[in-house]
Structure 1
Amino acid sequence: MTTTRPGSPPLRRPRRVGPVLALLALGQLGAATVILLLAAPVPVPLAALALLIAPAPALVAAATLHPRAPGEVTGADLLTLLRHLAAGALAAAAVLTLGGALEARSWPLAVLIAAALASDALDGPVARRTGTAGPVGARIDMEADAALVLVLSVLAATVVGPWALAIGLMRYAYVAASSVRPALRRELGFSQLRRVIGGLQGVALLTAVVPAVPMRMATVVVGFALGLLIFSFGRDVLTLERAEAAAREGSSPR
């Protein structure tokens, strides 16, 4: 039997990855079901596809949580997983939108997206305050952001045009390029500009689905955000390529 000393806080059972991810997948299915209820009458195949897509972010979460040695999930991780939950619901919404059963520009979707984006401002401070900040938590946060932005770009593409998909695909294209360009696997230093530009992407994509925002304005905002993202990735690629070239030059025999 586990005991605690008088005056000491009660021991908490650690949250294990498996049960948390199972609850996440169930939550995504539940959220997708709510999205289905908000949609017009949905054909069975389309509804089945939406429910099949909804738990996909849980698989991303599983892949990013796996490196945590004790197999535990921190409080900050739970906040981050809320974005995975929202991404699952929005993935189902994207399927329904592409199938013509749901309008992308709607207040329920806009509120859900805004709440998901707001959660991004909480997990970092919680991790630092609880002393659980680390590279794995940062990776979980990054993957949650990437999954959410990808889904948002699909929704935005149905409003402003297919080119908006470039925002969601940019990070994955970078990862793919790093498999053939060793320079892109180098560690990037912290950049406040990169962080700000990354944070602007979700807000810009949100404008595309807010009914009160004029279509022309939404198109301009999303286009401007894409331009900033291209600049940010381009700058990072140049920085890494130059660092790789300098390293090769420094290691070459003279």
Structure 2
Amino acid sequence: MAEWINAGRIEETAARKARRSLSTDACAVTVSVAAVFLASMFAFGDRFGIDLVAAGAAAVIYAVVSVIALRNLHAHGHGRFGAANVVTTVRAAITAALGGLVLASDQFGDVSQAGALWSTGTVIGFVLALDGIDGYLARRSGTTSRFGARFDMEVDALLILFLSLAAFLLNKAGAWVLLIGLMRYAFVAAQAIFPALRGELHPSLRRKAICVVQGATLCLMLFPVVMSPLSDVLAAGALVFLGYSFAADVVFLLKADRGSHAA
């Protein structure tokens, strides 16, 4: 009996050490990315139209995302934060910069800022390219987790939200384009009201492909050469595909819920 108790204490101590190690590692990555992020905004902010107010808003967005992520580390299940989550953290920082730009910069959308829009579109294209790398790194290193998958998905959703807002502010489409960015959050809100929508969704190539389409389409709309009516057509197509994807998931979850109750 004493051996079992001692073994349990040793395992509990090891688990506490692993959690502290993970927390320390994650905090170090978060702070390091924040330092590079802030330095980059002050060094190159003018090129993107990021003024002091926009930089402050971006810092707040990054801080909020970081706090939420760090509070959910228990779902990671590994002793190290991992390269995949480092990439996602970098993507979160750039997403926050875009958020600060579209929410707080007086220069955003100014016709004289075509160069800034080209620069912004190029950087966002790079962020979208990084989207598949974090998953690959997690699988390659054996550090896949519910935390990593959710972290990646929420950064994607936030990026799409800011891109749809950018499209609206740039007059590339009407206010309806905001539905692209808000649909994910509307689904989460619906889950709080309708328990049937809280079921598990299996990984889907259709869902991943349509997510890529949303990002690529909205990124293209940042560039000055993509104007209405082409931008309207692109945005409408992206919205139709996204609506179809969410509708398919809702139908699947409702059928699964009815099946579970019938059983």
Q: What is the letter of the counterpart of residue 196 of structure 2?
A: A
Larger deviation, residues 133-142 vs 54-63: 54-63
Cα offset, 1:41, TM superposition: 10
Query: Structure 1's 80 and 224: CA in aligned 2 closer, same or farther, altered over 3 A?
Result: same
Equivalent position of 1:131 in the other structure: 142
Say yes or no: does 1:66 pair with 2:71.
Answer: yes
Q: Is the 8 A contact 2:217 2:234 kept in 1?
A: yes
Q: What is the letter of the counterpart of residue 109 of structure 1?
A: T
Aligned residue pairs, count: 233
Instruction: Give the number of the structure whose residues are more often helix, by fraction.
Output: 2
Equivalent position of 1:207 in the other structure: 220
Cα offset, 1:36, TM superposition: 4.3
Mapping for residues 99-118 of structure 1, pairs under 5 Å: 99-103=106-110, 106-118=117-129
Cα offset, 1:71, TM superposition: 6.8
Equivalent position of 2:253 in the other structure: 240
Distance 1:41 1:152 in 2: 16
Q: Is the 8 A contact 2:83 2:138 kept in 1?
A: yes
Structure 1: which 5+ residue stretches go unaligned? 1-12
Distance 1:73 1:190 in 2: 23
Runs of 4 or more, structure 1, over 4 Å off, are 39-42
Instruction: Find 2:31's aligned residue among 14, 22, 29.
Output: 22
What secondary structure does 2:229 align onto? helix
Query: Structure 1's 39 and 206: CA in aligned 2 closer, same or farther, altered over 3 A?
Result: closer
Instruction: Find 1:77's aligned residue among 85, 90, 96.
Output: 85
Mapping for residues 121-200 of structure 1, pairs under 5 Å: 121-159=132-170, 160-200=173-213
Q: Percent identity?
A: 33
Query: Structure 1's 147 and 57: CA in aligned 2 closer, same or farther, altered over 3 A?
Result: farther
Query: Structure 1's 124 and 182: CA in aligned 2 closer, same or farther, altered over 3 A?
Result: same
Q: Is the 8 A contact 2:91 2:155 kept in 1?
A: yes
Say yes or no: does 1:52 pair with 2:57.
Answer: yes
Q: Is the 8 A contact 1:208 1:219 kept in 2?
A: no
Q: What is the letter of the counterpart of residue 147 of structure 1?
A: L
Q: Is the 8 A contact 1:60 1:143 kept in 2?
A: no
Structure 2: which 5+ residue stretches go unaligned? 1-20
Equivalent position of 1:226 in the other structure: 239
Distance 1:188 1:20 in 2: 30
Q: What is the letter of the counterpart of residue 185 of structure 1?
A: R
Distance 2:160 2:40 in 1: 18
Q: Is the 8 A contact 1:56 1:88 kept in 2?
A: yes
How high is the TM-score relative to the length of structure 1? 0.82
Cα offset, 1:59, TM superposition: 2.2
Larger deviation, residues 51-60 vs 74-83: 51-60
Cα offset, 1:96, TM superposition: 4.3
Equivalent position of 1:4 in the other structure: none
Q: Is the 8 A contact 1:90 1:151 kept in 2?
A: yes
Q: What CA RMSD, in Å, does the superposition of the two structures yield over aligned residues?
A: 2.4
What secondary structure does 1:157 align onto? helix
Q: Is the 8 A contact 1:50 1:91 kept in 2?
A: no
Query: Structure 1's 24 and 147: CA in aligned 2 closer, same or farther, altered over 3 A?
Result: farther
Q: What is the letter of the counterpart of residue 189 of structure 2?
A: A
Cα offset, 1:33, TM superposition: 3.4
Larger deviation, residues 211-220 vs 226-235: 211-220
